[in-house]
Structure formats: C-alpha cells, structure tokens
Amino acid sequence: MSVVERLLRGVFAAVMVVGAFAMLPEPARAQNAPASGMEPLTIVTASGRHAFQVEVMRTPDQRARGLMHRQFMPADRGMLFDFKQVEPVAMWMQNTYISLDMLFIRADGTVARIAERAEPLSTRTIPSGEPVLSVLEINAGIAEKLGIKPGDKVEHPLFKR
C-alpha cells in the first residue's frame, strides 16, 4: 500500500469516527466530552514528579457526572473533584466503564488514602476515610506503577488556598 493510500485510509477512519460521534444524541456527546479545560497537575512521589492533565469538576452537576459513560482515558490524564470544603466524601463507579484508582487528597495536597482498581459500574461506595478537599481519579494501576502512596504530595492550584 502506498503512502498516499495509507494517508487516505487514516483520514477516512478519522472522518468516520468524528461522523459517528456527531450522530450521537446531544446528551451522549455531552457525557463523553470533557466537562472543562485541561489543567496541569503533578504528583510528587519517592520515584519522582509525575505530570498529568486533569479535568476539574467544580460544580455539583460536574461532580455527579464525573467520568460516567466514558470508555477511555489516556494514561497521563485524570479527573480532579473539588468539594470546595474539607469533609468526609464517598465516591462510586455507577455508569463508569473505566477501572480507576482514586486518590483522596487533604487540603494541603497530601494523599490521605488510595482506593486502587475501583470496580467499573459498581454502586458500592468508596469512602475517603477522613475529611478531604478533593479526589483525583486516574486509570487503574497507575498509582501502583508510579509508586504513589499516602503522604505523597499533589501539586495543583486547588491546594494553594
């Protein structure tokens, strides 16, 4: 296959994906689209600094929707839930198809607890274990791969209040 044929095949495939997405009803498109712009976030561990781009869920509607109905999230991405005040929180995986690691984060940016490999589609609640300001959801297995532990530091403007 020539370079031109490969290029055209790739363009055709991209057009088909975009076209299929455009044919979804508006609510389905909204549920699969990022809720806000991406923001940089860094997790500092014993193994080094690990950069992510995160969507920040700041409103009750955004926090309720979270990663529901998404089928994929790149390894360097995540979702940061801003609860606006320090309080005990509980998360769940209803309508969430991606297995996740959940980092429960104190107001000073330290990781309080990690719930690894949360079960997709489960309605079981996952408690913070103590009052926290935020939860960071990343793909399942990333916390273990990067050696993220309770006490590690998360750097993001949310924790500079």
Radius of gyration of the chain (CA): 18
In order of 17, 29, 31, 42, 79, the CA distances from 60 in angstroms are: 31, 20, 15, 24, 14
Instruction: Give the tens place of pLDDT for each residue, 100-125.
Output: 999 999 999 999 999 999 999 999 99
pTM of the model: 0.77
Bridge-based pairing of strands 90-91 and 38-45 is unpaired
Question: According to the model, what pLDDT value does residue 160 have?
Answer: 81
**Which helix (DSSP H) or strand (DSSP E) does residue 78 occupy?**
strand 77-87
Instruction: Give the tens place of pLDDT for each residue, 12-31.
Output: 333 333 333 333 444 443 44
Instruction: Give the tens place of pLDDT for each residue, 4-13.
Output: 344 444 433 3
| Residue 161 pLDDT level (bands cut at 50, 70, 90) | low
Report d(CA 126, CA 137) in Å as an integer. 12
Residues 147, 45 contacting (CB under 8 angstroms): yes
